[in-house]
Amino acid sequence: MKDTLGNLNNIRAFIAVDVSNTLAIEKLQHELVADGGWTPEQIRPVKNQNLHFTLIFLGNIRLEIIDEIKIKISEIQFEPIKITFTGIGGFPHPNFARVIWVGVDENGNQRLVSLAEQVVIKLSEIGFTPDKPFTPHLTVFRVIGASLKIRTEILDKYGKKDFTSDIIDKVHLKRSDLTPSGPIYTNIFTVQAR
């Protein structure tokens, strides 16, 4: 295996849960583009196959530690989590957003945070610590170039709106390969809800 840095001994990796209701998110992306008046020169939608929640970013890891990571995440136990996508926002702030995200309902939020905490506890046993606390949000657009101001009427219309539901029932160890046309994510290992 080869990572984007050309090092044969490392890969860029993270632990995540995927979104399966991608068609509903794609529909929302189209609605937001139409209502926001955004152009392809301003924003790039996240591709369906890349829609996920990152529970913990691992960074560049040595290939020989992958088996240890698999063992640790195999130890987590969780039931399927029903989430409702609700509201939108911009990061770092709606007035100068670099990404546009969709939030999660309160119950789904709590359960995803609990799942992320389990993952972090297990991975801390082999030396991994999160670079930032987990906050459930689904990145649906990346801003190209300068930041973007999300208009007040868009925030008023979509800020607290429920969009669609989904079931989270798998946790993945993912490899990330950065390319000029965007990242390519590959599942290395999967843990199923019990």
Catalytic residues: 52, 137
Angstrom distance (rounded) from CA 38 to CA 33: 5
Backbone torsions φ then ψ of 10, nearest 5 degrees:
-130, 155
Please list, in sequence order, all residues whose beta carbon lies within 8 angstroms of the beta carbon of residue 175, skipping any fewer than 6 positions away. 1, 11, 12, 13, 185, 186, 187, 188
CA separation (Å) from 100 to 46, 88, 130, 158, 169? Answer: 10, 7, 22, 12, 25
Helices (H), 37-126: 66-74, 106-124
| Angle formed by the axes of helices 106-124 and 66-74, nearest 10° | 130
Give the N- to C-terminal CA distance of the chain in Å, as an integer. 31
Strand partners, 83: 166
